[in-house]
Amino acid sequence: MSNLSDIFKNHKAFIPFVVADDPDFDTTVKNIIALAKGGADIVEVGIPFSDPIADGPVIQSADLRAFAAGVRTETVFEIVDAARKQTDVPIVFLTYLNVVFKYGYDAFCQRCQQSGVAGLVIPDMPYESRDEILPAATQAGIDIIPLITPTSGHRIEKIARAASGFIYVVSSLGITGERNEFFTGLKDLVANIRQYTDVPTAIGFGVHTPDQAKTMAGIADGVIIGSAIVDIVAKEKQNAPQAIETFTKSVRTAVDASQGARV
Ligand SMILES: O=P(O)(O)OC[C@@H](O)[C@@H](O)c1c[nH]c2ccccc12
């Protein structure tokens, strides 16, 4: 397994998301570095996919921009390799299962290890199918980061007990995208998960302001923001890195102000 869990040991984690090759290779590399400079603990890099069923319009549009830029799965690895020359910020992939399947589980996990990718979030891989990829991921020292949603119900125990890296707690039903209303039972959901595991939890979906990030970091061990950052990329294009660093710093400050701030 990777050492992703250690990141959460002494402070609340901020995990931002960007889509690879949106709007181009160099800007994505600069965005990853800007996120790291701004205080991200882990960067979630999205591999564009043709049928992103869990994604809202902001990320769907980003995937289309990446496809227009000619993105291939290998491009995403090359972007990470290029970023690695300037930052050692932990990186996880957000990827749909078919991308990994087409590349080949062993080859994909080995390539991840080569690029220093520490974990995979595969939103359309049911817990019951994880055994297909687990041997290759374990061999490569990569965490398969599970998602737990407000409707996971009786499956929470087995998902939590099998988790490594961190657990992605989905804040609300539906698709990714900025929200102002969240599932009201998040505190109970996190408490339920914590009965079964010490693996840290990070809440994502809809969070788009520093105040919301502070609230979520007060409930869980970390917070994930995607669409709000992808929206900056959509608006700022090649000028996004500076704006992204500024936004990241504001979220970092807010997350550190929640309980359990950096010691
Ligand atoms: O965009 P939001 O609402 O801030 O949510 C994070 C999300 O973007 C990122 O974690 C993600 C992007 N695509 C996904 C698909 C499924 C689950 C999570 C994701």
Residue 197 Cα to ligand 1 midpoint, Å, equals: 23
Model ipTM?
0.99
Which DSSP state fits 239?
Answer: G
Reduced to 3 states, what is the DSSP secondary structure of residue 232? helix
Q: How much of the chain, in percent, has pLDDT values that exceed 70?
A: 98
Distance CA 205, CA 219 (A): 14
Distance CA 168, CA 145 (A): 7
pLDDT in tens, 184-204: 899 999 999 999 999 999 999
User: With the C-alpha atoms ordered 229, 233, 238, 239, is the resulting torsion angle positive or negative?
Assistant: negative
Pocket of ligand 1, candidates 53, 59, 149: which has the most ligand atoms within 8 Å of its Cβ, to mutate?
59
From the CB of 212, is ligand 1 less than 6 Å away? no
What pLDDT score was predicted for residue 263? Answer: 46
Q: What is the C-alpha separation between 76 and 73, in angstroms, rounded?
A: 5
| 157 among known catalytic residues | no
pLDDT in tens, 101-146: 999 999 999 999 999 999 999 999 998 899 999 999 999 999 999 9
DSSP strand pairing (201-204 vs 167-170): parallel
Please confirm, yes or no, whether 245 is among the known catalytic residues.
no
Q: Point out the ligand 1 atom lying closest to the alpha carbon of residue 176.
A: 3
pLDDT grade for 2, boundaries at 50, 70 and 90 = confident
Threshold 0.95, pTM exceeds? yes
DSSP H or E segment with residue 260: none
pLDDT reading at 260 higher than 80: no
92 lines ligand 1 (CB under 6 A): no
**% of the chain at pLDDT higher than 90:** 95
Q: How far is the CA of 132 from the centre of ligand 1 (A)?
A: 23
Distance CA 83, CA 75 (A): 12
Q: Which domains does the chain have, with CATH numbers?
A: 4-256 (3.20.20.70)
Q: For the chain, where are the alpha helices, taking DSSP H only?
A: 25-38, 57-68, 73-84, 97-103, 105-115, 134-140, 156-162, 186-194, 210-219, 227-236, 240-256
Catalytic one of 22, 24, 41, 44: 44
Question: 36-45, pLDDT tens digit by residue?
Answer: 999 999 999 9
pLDDT at 261 over 60: no
60 in contact with ligand 1, CB cutoff 6 A: no
pLDDT in tens, 221-252: 999 999 999 999 999 999 999 999 999 999 99
For residue 87, report the distance from its CA to the centre of ligand 1, in Å.
Answer: 23
Task: Inform me whether the pLDDT recorded for 158 exceeds 90.
Answer: yes
CA 239 to ligand 1 centroid distance, Å = 23
